[in-house]
Each structure stands twice: as structure tokens, then as C-alpha cells.
Amino acid sequence: MTDKQGLALVDLDEDGVDRAFRADVLKGLRQPQKAVPARWLYDDAGSQLFEDITQIPEYYPTRAETEILEDREHDFAEAIGPGRAVVEFGSGSSVKTPLLLRAIDPAAYVPLDIAGDFLRAAAADLQEKFPALPIYPVEADFMREVALPEAVADMPKLGFFPGSTIGNMVPRTATDLLRTMRATLGESSKLLIGMDLIKQPDVLEAAYDDAGGVTAEFNLNLARRINRELGGSIPVETFTHVARWNDDFARVEMHLEARQDVNFKVSGEAFEMAEGDTIHTENSHKFSRHSSATLLMAGGWTPVQRWLDKEQRFSVILAEATIPRSAP
Ligand code: AVI
């Protein structure tokens, strides 16, 4: 359900249950390969656990991307130039956004996020760091076209989508999002996007299955959330977190694997799983130079520059809104 600005509202039933959550979980658990959309990993506990993940030694993407943003300040200033309205898809983390804002001297900053409280807190925090910068937070679901504030209508835009969050979407959804971003940002806009790189499977699997078990907690928290919010009886202790590289689709998959045959209920509906069956909970696609360019172009963006961290683990790509041409 959305309001007139395309803003997603939580639609609760008479028992206070999020209808979309229940519908996604029940639909996903009825499939032969059980699956729950990854967005449901992020309740309060899940969001905190993700913050913890960004600090663990094995999870390199946050550090690698931050290194690029720190080291390439002058390149960004030159390639992007001053005077743009920076539109960030998902509220800025306290570390990455200031690095970009400092580098390019923007005319305004527009953080978009569906979580209003988080959005306003992040905006207030940034306003303290950049007192002279006009900041216009917009509470919206950026998977749909967003009407940007009037005040930035005439400014050229730079979309900012760090973190390789694009990798959590299957290519079809990622393409839809890139096209939607282009519609939101308009002609002659640019996009600065983080995209994680394909690398040795053992490095990737360790990043998603750390020795300290933080990612396992993040994944298992979904089962706990289902039990708590949907009256579920999933025996969480009989499930194991699994992170595996799927080479056919160039992605790390997270699953919850049953270690023995189990029966459980969710919202009154019965489910059974045999030992070794899994619930697929997340994809994290990784990219090559070619696959990132192909995805961006499919979404209406032409990559113009690409930066890697010193260990060549992660890429930050600058793209321009492609001008539609019929030839060749
Ligand atoms: C948010 N997203 C980019 C993270 C990733 O790397 O795919 C989510 C994550 N899942 C497990 N670890 C991190």
C-alpha cells in the first residue's frame, strides 16, 4: 500500500501483523525451494546486526568502498564537478556520505529513505557537519519514481547508491531500479554507484560467514522475526546459516539449512522440511567490469569512470544517463 507520493506505508491487519511480511513469507515457504525476500532481514535487530557486519574483519566491502571514497576525492571533484544536487538512495551512513559531499561541493543533498526516523536522524547528523548545505530529506520508497523537492528541480543531479546494494537484487529488479533512478534524476544526471567484484569463492564465502558468527545471527534473526511477528514455531536451533558462492549466477547466496527433518507452523499454516532443505534468504551478486557495464547500460546508464580499492576487491563507478539513440 502506498500514499499519494508513492511512499510505502506499513499495512497492518487487525492483529497488528504486517500483511506484506506475512504474504511474502507464506508465499515463499510454499515454494519447492523455500525463499523469503531479503528485505525482511532488516527489522531493528537485523539492521543493527548489519551495522555490526560492516565492522567484522572478513566483510571487506564497506572498508574497500570507504577507501576508494577517501582516496579518490580529487578524481570525483574533477569528474563530477560542483553544484549538483546529490540524491542518495537509502539514507547516508555516517562515514561514506560526508566523504563524497566534501569532495564535490554540491548545491544540495537529498537523502531518500523509507525509514522516516532513521532518515531524519541521518539528515540532522549531516546538517551539523555541513551547516551551509541545503538538505531536503524525502521519506519515500526509491524502488518507485520519486518526485524530488521543488528546490532542486533546476539543479543537475548526482545519484549516489553506495554499498553494492544493487547486488542484492536479481538482474531484472536491478535493471528496473536503475531505470527508475534515471526517471527520478532526469536527463543529464550522473550516478555514482558501488558494485562489489567477483573474487575467489573462499574470500566471498568468508565475508558472508564470518568466524565470529555475526552474519549467522543476522540470517537466523529472520527465523526469530517470523516466529515473533507471525506466530511461527520454527525451531531456530535446528537451522544453520549457510553462505555459498553460486558461480552460474555470480552471487553469494545465504540460506537457512535444516539440520534434521522439521515441521513448523507460520500464521497457522503447516510446513515441513527434510534434513538438508534450505530457506533461501539473500543474494549478493558480484560483478566483473563487463557485467557491471552491461547491467548499468540495460538500466539506461553509460559508465564513464571506474575506481577500485588497492586490493581490487570493490568498484565505484560513475555513469551518465544515456541519451536515447536509435542507432546503431
Ligand atoms: C546490504 N548488502 C549490500 C549486504 C551485502 O553485502 O550483500 C548485505 C549483507 N548480507 C550479509 N552480509 C551483508
Task: For residue 107, report the distance from its CA to the centre of ligand 1, in Å.
Answer: 31
For the residues 73-81, what does the mean pLDDT come to?
97
Of residues 248, 173, 229, 197, the one with CA closest to residue 18: 229
**For residue 298, which phi and psi values (nearest 5 degrees)?**
-60, -30
Element containing residue 254 per DSSP (H, E)? strand 251-258
* pLDDT of res. 292: 98
Going from the Cα of 239 to the center of ligand 1, the distance in angstroms, rounded, reads 20
The pairing of beta strand 251-258 with beta strand 239-246: antiparallel
Residue 128: phi, psi to the nearest 5?
-65, -40
Query: Average model confidence (pLDDT) for the chain?
Result: 94
> How many Å apart are CA 8 and CA 6, to the nearest integer?
6
- Taking 90 as the threshold, does the pLDDT of residue 237 lie above it? yes
For the Cβ of 215 lying below 6 angstroms from any atom of ligand 1, the answer is: yes
Give the DSSP H or E segment for 256. Answer: strand 251-258
Q: Which residue shows C-alpha cell 535446528? A: 238
189 lines ligand 1 (CB under 6 A): no
Q: Which of 136-145, 231-240, 252-261 has the lowest mean pLDDT?
A: 136-145
> Which of 284, 281, 278 minimizes the C-alpha distance to 165?
284
CA distance 284 to 245: 9
Q: What is the mean pLDDT of residues 205-231?
A: 98
- Answer yes or no: is pLDDT of 2 > 50: no
Report the percent of the chain where pLDDT is more than 70. 96
Q: How far apart are CA 76 and CA 69, in angstroms?
A: 9
CA nearest 132: which of 94, 178, 101?
101
- Per-residue pLDDT band for 9 (boundaries 50, 70, 90) equals low
CA 296 / ligand 1 centre spacing (Å): 20
CA pair distance 323, 62, nearest whole angstrom: 32
Residue 93: pLDDT band with limits 50, 70, 90: low
Rounded mean pLDDT of 175-204? 97
Tell me the C-alpha distance between 43 and 23, whole Å: 17
Amino acid identity at 67: E
**What is the pTM (predicted TM-score) of this model?**
0.94
The pLDDT value recorded for residue 114 is: 84
Lowest mean pLDDT among 2-16, 127-141, 189-203: 2-16
Q: Report the pLDDT value the prediction gives residue 6, as an integer from 0 to 100.
A: 39
Q: Are 87 and 79 in contact (CB under 8 A)?
A: no
Nearest by Cα to 161 from 195, 135, 208: 195
Ligand 1, from 55, 204, 282: best to mutate by most atoms within 8 Å of Cβ? 282
According to DSSP H, which parts of the chain are helical?
19-30, 44-53, 61-71, 73-80, 96-104, 116-129, 171-185, 201-207, 214-229, 289-298
The best mutation among 42, 47, 48, 50 to test binding of ligand 1, ranked by most ligand atoms within 8 Å of the C-beta, falls on 50
Split at pLDDT 50, 70, 90, the class of 67 is: very high
- pLDDT value at 8 more than 90: no
Q: Is 243 exposed, middle or buried (0-12, 13-18, 19+ CB in 10 A)?
A: buried
In sequence order, what are the residues at sequence separation of 6 or more whose Cβ sits closer than 8 angstroms to the Cβ of residue 111?
A: 88, 91, 92, 97, 119, 122, 123, 126, 135, 137, 138
Residues 102-126 have pLDDT tens digits of: 999 999 999 999 888 889 988 999 9
* Dihedral pair phi/psi, residue 265, rounded to 5°: -120, 150
H-run or E-run covering 195: strand 190-196
Average pLDDT over residues 307-311: 98
**Cβ-contact 281, 240 below 8 angstroms:** no
pLDDT at 5: 38
